[in-house]
Structure 1
Amino acid sequence: MNYETQLMGESSSILVDEEERNRGRRRLLIIGGVAAIALIAVAAALSMRGKSAATPDAVQQAPVVTVVSPGQTMVARTVSATGSLAARIDMPVGVVGEGGMVTRVLVQPGDWVRAGQALAIVERSVQSEQINSLAAQVEVQRANAKLAQAQLDRAKALVGRGFISAADIDQRTATRDQAVAQVRVAEAQLAEQRARTGRLDIRAPAAGLVLTRTVEPGQIVQAGSGVLFRMAKDGEMEMLAQVSEGDLTTLRAGNGATVTPVGGKDSFAGRVWQVSPVVDPQSRQGIARIALSYNPAIRPGGFATATITSGSGEAPLLPESAVQSDANGNYVYIVNAKNQVERREVKVGQVSDTGVAIATGLTGAERIVTSAGAFLTPGQKVKPEARKAP
């Protein structure tokens, strides 16, 4: 009985241990399965993340860029300049005669005058009396000449009767000639005084526009009084355009120009009539003189800007976005046959609303990146998309 009981107890304990071992195995299997599923999920997530990270890199390695082959375009070569406005022929008008007190001023700045027109009248009472005196002297000398001629005529009538000798005739002839000469001297003195009196008035040396006036009635003027009026001959104006030394060599007399006074919206057509033969050693600039017709908006002494057309030629024309610049100068990016970006140094020419003309560095047949050049690097692979040239 005891032995059987003992055997039954031992078998029960063996069964319990076996069951516990089975449960432990199942627990390990479950834990392993969960761990395997977690590892698979982590691997899948890492794989997806790797793919998402690799996609932008792939795109970045070959970005799409717009390119253009501009060819050659006829471009006007222009020179920009600034400068001052002035009368083309500035005529200072001052005292020509002996001067005196100004009694009347007949013109104002902005008036048009003709050649010889009186601008101001100078008091001439003393000169008028001198003219009257000299005119009387002329009459006296004429009377003397008339008397001498009459005496000569009577003497000649008496020569044949023997009352007058030939020597007396010669004497009376000389007296008559002297009297006639004195008449001429008196007339010359009268004409001189009249000319002096006529020069008292301030007159216009030529037709034109009065620019300034610095004289008033009651003012005493004389030869040292300086400039009383300034005139622009025929009203013609000009711009003294300051042009750089390099641009000066491209200009010629006859080049067209457009001048815009500062503060105004209107532009005026002009023409270069003189190019300075010298260059200022300090500023390295020369002067191109642009002739302009009269217009009230063109005021001497004012400031203006000018665009001078110096010629035309063919050059590649690019949009401004295609041209980059750095410390080394201007450049563009071109796409070579392998669709790789290359840097090309260029020299910029005329810049206008239509684009930037390239003076040197391009033939026009290249594929040039028109935008996003700042984000590219030389040697980078790109996908070019052609755009029609402007």
Structure 2
Amino acid sequence: MSADTLRAAGHFRKSRGTLVAVVIIMAIILLMLFHLIFGGKPARTGNPPQVVSAATATLGDMPVILNELGTVTPISTVTVLPQLSGYLTDIGYQEGQDVKKGQFLAQIDPRQYEINKLQAEAQLAKDQASLDQARADLARYQQLHQQKSIAEQTYIDQTFTVAQDEAAVKADKATIAQDELNLTYCHITAPVDGRVGLRLVDPGNYVTASSSPGIVVITRMKPTTVQFTVPQNSLSQVLQRFNAGNKLPVTVYNSDDTKQLASGTLYAIGNQMATSTGTVTLRATFANDDELLYPNEFVNARLLVDTMKQAVLVPTPAVQSGAPGDYVYLVNADDTVSVHKVTQGPSDGKNTVILSGLSAGQTVVTDGMDRLNDGAKIKIAQAKPESGTAPASASSSANTPHHGDKRKHDSDSASSNS
């Protein structure tokens, strides 16, 4: 072969090798692009699922309760005031003692009023004698008048004299009655049953009619009432039940809401709405036999308005609030979760009513939601029974994991992600 032919053959082989190299490089580039475009999403499936706790929505009864701040208000609180003036000579009660209506409390010096009564009785005797004489004269004048032996005017004047003496006698009797009443006022008694407070004035002091602060304050301890307010948005439901004749139970707890003090019933609703707060005052009555409700004490009142029957219930931690509104993480059949918007109703702290958006039997996440999002893979943790707990109760506690389980789940999840 000639030299020109050899050079042409070598040039052809070199061009073909370059073309093959270019094709191989392009193929590698295409494979890399394909891996980046179509291989990125499947790689995410390798992430470990989020460990969560879950519970199943159930049907049950939910009480509709209004929790309000209230004040213990006695049925009667009476400040005993003196009705007249005088020196206080005696006290007939012990501070903090229970007294009955009519029981002796205090004594005002009665001597001045006894003297006034004696003077009034003397004046009555004098006026009564004058009346008797005037009547005797009138009887004689009447006979003479019939015989035409005296002037007509003399007879009429004597009639007026008798009327004047009769009026004087009546005035004297009224004065005596007033003196007797004053003597009664000197002997101060309890106007109502109740418990007396601390002594407000000591014996030896000069008191005057209606002087402040009075002799003592008597407070009715039992039965007693509790006043509390409800917002106007809740009033219509209360009125509907109350006006229908239903006895709405009210339970009272102490100020820190840790101990139940008493149970009673609602018996009165105020007739005006407070414009400044948009609330109306309600009053409930309690027997208070153990006297745990103390006058003017602040308490927490729980009014049971109604009971929702066969409502959809989920554990309260399952309901979240955010941009979509109220929502839950619904557990799907493929072990993923989806954000499910719901409308929540009343809650008792442990469970919450779902008015719409969820059905009984559906499973929702109750714990471990801090790193969840729509479509995330999950793994439902199995709650471990507590020590000393019967196996039968272990399954029921699986829907409500304890705080220790939550910390363990978060730790497992963190170690899996690392």
Q: How does the TM-score come out when normalised to structure 1?
A: 0.70
Percent identity for Structure 1 against Structure 2: 23
Q: 1:299 aligns with which of 284, 294, 304?
A: 294
Kept in 2, the 8 Å contact 1:235–1:294? The answer is yes
Q: In structure 2, how many angstroms separate the alpha carbons of the residues matched to 1:187 and 1:266?
A: 60
1:257 alignment partner in structure 2:
250
**1:259: Cα distance to partner?**
0.9
Corresponding position: 1:214 with 2:200: yes
1:267 alignment partner in structure 2:
261
Corresponding position: 1:125 with 2:111: yes
Kept in 1, the 8 Å contact 2:52–2:379? The answer is yes
Question: Partner of 2:204: helix, strand, or coil?
Answer: coil
Corresponding position: 1:112 with 2:99: yes
Indicate the larger mover: 177-186 or 133-142.
177-186
1:190 alignment partner in structure 2:
176
Q: In structure 2, how many angstroms separate the alpha carbons of the residues matched to 1:152 and 1:272?
A: 71
Q: What amino acid is aligned across from residue 250 of structure 2 in structure 1?
A: A
Indicate the larger mover: 164-173 or 122-131.
164-173
Q: 2:225 aligns with which of 233, 238, 255?
A: 238
Q: What amino acid is aligned across from residue 214 of structure 1 in structure 2?
A: L
Question: Structure 2 vs 1, CA of residues 344 and 225 (structure 1 numbering), >3 Å: closer, same or farther?
Answer: farther
Q: In structure 1, how many angstroms separate the alpha carbons of the residues matched to 2:278 and 2:363?
A: 39
Question: Partner of 1:175: helix, strand, or coil?
Answer: helix
Larger Rg computed on CA atoms: 1
Paired residues, number: 333
1:293-332 matches, within 5 Å, as 293-295=287-289, 296-314=291-309, 315-324=311-320, 330-332=326-328
Unaligned runs of 5+ in 2: 1-41, 383-394, 401-418
Q: In structure 2, how many angstroms separate the alpha carbons of the residues matched to 1:328 and 1:227?
A: 61
Q: In structure 2, how many angstroms separate the alpha carbons of the residues matched to 1:341 and 1:332?
A: 9
1:326-365 matches, within 5 Å, as 330-336=326-332, 340-352=336-348, 355-364=351-360
Q: In structure 2, how many angstroms separate the alpha carbons of the residues matched to 1:195 and 1:209?
A: 26
2:162 alignment partner in structure 1:
176
1:3 alignment partner in structure 2:
none
Question: Partner of 1:251: helix, strand, or coil?
Answer: helix
Question: Structure 2 vs 1, CA of residues 161 and 67 (structure 1 numbering), >3 Å: closer, same or farther?
Answer: closer
Q: In structure 2, how many angstroms separate the alpha carbons of the residues matched to 1:371 and 1:90?
A: 53
Q: How does the TM-score come out when normalised to structure 2?
A: 0.65
Q: 1:68 aligns with which of 52, 56, 63?
A: 56
Question: Structure 2 vs 1, CA of residues 161 and 384 (structure 1 numbering), >3 Å: closer, same or farther?
Answer: closer
Q: In structure 2, how many angstroms separate the alpha carbons of the residues matched to 1:345 and 1:290?
A: 39
Unaligned runs of 5+ in 1: 1-53
Q: In structure 2, how many angstroms separate the alpha carbons of the residues matched to 1:93 and 1:327?
A: 62
Corresponding position: 1:83 with 2:70: yes
Question: Structure 2 vs 1, CA of residues 177 and 224 (structure 1 numbering), >3 Å: closer, same or farther?
Answer: closer
Aligned CA-pair RMSD: 3.9
Indicate the larger mover: 255-264 or 125-134.
255-264
Q: In structure 2, how many angstroms separate the alpha carbons of the residues matched to 1:120 and 1:379?
A: 82
